[in-house]
Structure 1
């Protein structure tokens, strides 16, 4: 249970909260940084899909390579469309709000799950499950490379 005396003393020391006012130049800089960040993420994820497919194809054959491509693509394609939607909103007059962002994420994850299920059903005869999961994990965790390089805002 929080101490009410501490909260009152803390509130007295902090004073009234000031409203953050951004100039048009600040907004343009934030928008440009966001566009670059989204572009980098989508680009690195695309490279990760191709990398996973190439590694699986070289070491385990064409079926594993295509399976990695299917697994990575099942997440990459919905993510690409969502990123384009966010970019259109940022560069247009109606940016995506918090509720729209959450719904977009939910739709993206749902479509990715449906694509994975469809691929498993449709190509179960030759699909290499470990390669498909490897492609999926490579795409899901590719942003870690950007974090390690300090390329994310």
Structure 2
């Protein structure tokens, strides 16, 4: 079963209310771009404390993301992404009980061929080796290096 709650719990979800705001700022230059995203969400209903307690953690109160990318003269694209997420439950079993932050690095390039285009990228996830990360089943503090390639023709 997906979780420990029964149908009576889900029938009361329409009683749960939350409000918030989202902010996005972007800058795109000739070789550099910067994107900032921030959101704030707060529950409004406190009368149903068991409902609020169970559901409130399913969305983090604050999230922040920052992406900076630079296009080098030789057509390579490099970027760094920084993330912050308040404590939350991705579902009713996987939880992060403390706020987490992490950073990713990416280096990518497109190569033209006679019949198409090859996209190659190398991504380093969780470069600062944050140990508290436990999001969507990722092992705690796991650092990853990913190589990907896509050929379009």
TM-score norm. by structure 2 comes to 0.24
TM-score norm. by structure 1 comes to 0.24
Higher relative contact order (CA 8 A, sep 6+): 1
Whose helix fraction is larger, Structure 1's or Structure 2's? 1
Whose strand fraction is larger, Structure 1's or Structure 2's? 2
Compare CA radii of gyration and give the structure with the larger one.
1
